[in-house]
Amino acid sequence: MNPPPAAPALFINREVSWLEFNGRVLAEAFDNRVPLLERAKFLSIFGTNLDEFYMVRVAGLRRQVAGRFSNTSPDAMSPRDQLDHIERRVREMLAQVQGLLEDELLPALAERGIRLVGMHEVTVEERRGLDAFFESQVYPVLTPLAVDPGHPFPYISNLSLSLAVGLRDPERGVDRFARVKVPKSLPRWVPVPGRKHEFVPLEQVIGAQLGALFPGMQVIGWHTFRITRYSDLEIADTEESEDFLAMIEEQVFQRRFGEVVRLEVQPGMPAAVRKLLLEELRETDEGESLTLTEADVQEHGPMLDLGDLMSMAMLDAPELRDAPYTPIVPVPLREPDRSVFDVIRERDLLVHHPYDSFTASVEQFIEAAARDEHVLAIKMTLYRTSGDSAIVRALTTAAQRGIQVAVLVELQARFEEVTNITWARTLESFGVHVAYGLPGLKTHAKVALVVRREADGIRRYMHLSTGNYNGKTARVYTDIGLFTCAESIGADVSDLFNLLTGFSRQRVYRRLIVAPTGMRERVVQLIAREAANARDGKPARIIVKMNALVDKESIDALYDASQAGVQIDLIVRGICCLRPGVPGVSENIRVVSIIGRFLEHSRIWHFANGGSPEYYIASADWMPRNFSRRVEVAVPVEDPALHVRLASLLETCLADDRQAWELGPDGAYARRRPETDTPHASQASFLRDSWGRGRNSGATASATANANRPSEVFG
């Protein structure tokens, strides 16, 4: 029996919670314990996060308002309420950003020799060098676009930086307007000749040379602006892969013309220019007005597009960045005379990225399979992969060697569609069987299957993960991967790939928990079992690590378990719609968010199960989209020795008092403060003592496992 639904006041709004997550990212840019260039990196991440939020979430809310939808979220906020809150909160954040840049971050960087300078600050000789750069590298790329009766207002691409130029025709005495796009193909920060780590913004280099673009005209002034367009895909159901591929390509193309949802402008832009931009960027959708208003205009300081700070954060100044680290090769994979298949056949293996090497584990697994004469088939899901991917190269090698290779490429991975289409066609050209997923669903599961003929018959080797098969993000995202050759899991994985590449109505699996055919139901059952155990006086405990908690049914079940006396710890990096610590409802629930050097991305579920602990790793967060609109997989980790590792990981995260924030019942987060002079930073702990080093592995000593039973670790 499901618990009764909780009242709206017990839910935090999804968009409000996301904004506070981005606020925690911004807080890292304010934290003087973080190296200076890393602070610039966090400011860049804050900016790009906000861009995507407007492209998708704010755009969706604006469409709801325009369509006069009155539906409310579980917390009872209407679309209009949410937009009003977003506008107020974002303006507060942007004011903080400008204060940080102007009063603290840029001056501190300047003291360490990294400076942004204006054209008015360079010497005559340096100006000659910048002029030469403009003439040879910039001028040929620029296309000045006039606006007058013979020249309609130009198309402006999403997130592009532009100059709004005021001109006067001296012969006619008429004022004119023109737009000049700042090209993304050129570096935003132009080095000042002869000065190390000193730069002029590209828009200033262009602004200083507008006379060359408009000869004979008088330049009255120029100001930068930037727009954000609606950029989500709208996919109709289709049964044919070729139709699906063509549809995605068409949608990616059409996305360029989505309605404008935000206008960012430089301070001091004349009112007439602001008005012109607002009027010309007006859009309609099926007769409903989506007109921009002043509420949709954000006035920044002199710097627009904070995302470009990332290139500055990557400067070669090691003293201003985090200390470099080298991922560890897991001990079992270091023996040169043993193959990765020998290791997995001996016992299951867990890896924890980025601390454990992705190259020496996951990529080695696929590369070894591609070269192995006993391998018959390789099957994989690819949601987001990196350019020039070692995994893609291995798959093409395997196909050329006659191994049957089947890959599910998810074309709907947001903002990765073009990359995935390119890789899909590359794979097909080498003879790889490529499928594009199921109609109406994204395939978000991270699964690889290798089928191998051995002396005792056919054996299946699997890798199941919380993260993507992407060597670049594997260095900055924390993820867990499981290597296993368990027969029951192998049978489930085979059934899953039959579902993804063929025709199947598979709904029941042996060991895997699969969405959308029952993951939500199983999660609610697991929570309810803990509640029942607590009421019966049996050991009951829930610890879940994930990126987001939004699903109402899961939250209702957690509230019920809390009221039954279950102690619940939730490690939720981003959105959390549950209110912890509410008397009589959720006083047994604690929520922490960890923000640090690496993006916390792993999903781990722990249930005490009356004294027989269960652990799962999963590709899914607890959100409606993951449970209902995606193919997701959770896999049990069954080796008790590996339970010790997961227990230690969760315990380390819960003890964090350096990077952790606690969520209060009022929806506000408070940063934990160290109680001693030696703060406990979970990510630093994992860097010092990764699983790959062989410590606390439980792999060779059952005594260690007995002494650290999860039920004792978690009380």
Catalytic, out of 300, 352, 353, 444: 444
**Paired tokens of 507:** 């709904």
**Collapsed DSSP state (helix, strand, coil) of residue 441:** coil
Contact 587, 578 (CB under 8 A): no
Helices vs. strands in the chain: H and E counts, helices first: 23, 29
Phi first, then psi: what are they for 60, rounded to 5°? -65, -40
Contact 16, 83 (CB under 8 A): no
Q: In angstroms, what is the C-alpha Rg of the chain? A: 27
**What's the CA gap between 435 and 371, in Å, rounded?**
23
Neighbour count for residue 76 (Cβ, 10 Å): 12
DSSP for 625-679, please give it: HHHHSEEEEEEE---HHHHHHHHHHHHHHHT-SSSEEEEPTTS-EEE---SSSS-
User: For residue 481, what is the enclosing H or E element?
Assistant: strand 477-484
Query: Which among 489, 485, 494 has a CA at the least distance from the CA of 460?
Result: 485
**What's the CA gap between 645 and 640, in Å, rounded?**
9
Could you give the dihedral angle defined by the CA atoms of residues 262, 264, 270 and 271, in that order, rounded to the nearest 10 degrees?
30
From residue 23, alpha-carbon distances to 28, 575, 590, 599 in Å are 9, 12, 20, 15
User: Residue 48 corresponds to which amino acid?
Assistant: T
From residue 595, alpha-carbon distances to 431, 440, 478, 661 in Å are 42, 33, 11, 8
**What's the CA gap between 386 and 473, in Å, rounded?**
8
**Collapsed DSSP state (helix, strand, coil) of residue 130:** helix
**Preceding amide of 336 cis, omega within 30:** no
- Residue appearing with tokens 């899901």: 381
**Paired tokens of 121:** 């600050």
**What's the CA gap between 542 and 610, in Å, rounded?**
11
Query: Which among 569, 598, 72, 657 has a CA at the least distance from the CA of 352?
Result: 598
**Collapsed DSSP state (helix, strand, coil) of residue 238:** coil
Assess whether 444 carries a catalytic annotation: yes
Neighbour count for residue 480 (Cβ, 10 Å): 25
If DSSP states are collapsed to H, E and C, what string results for 417-456? HHHHHHHHHHHHHCCCEEECCCCCCEECCEEEEEEEEECC
Contact 267, 233 (CB under 8 A): no
- Residue appearing with tokens 């592009």: 160
Query: Which among 266, 297, 302 has a CA at the least distance from the CA of 101?
Result: 302
At a CB cut-off of 8 Å and minimum separation 6, what does 103 contact?
none
Residues forming beta bridges with residue 328, ordered by sequence position = 356
Q: What residues are labeled active site? A: 444
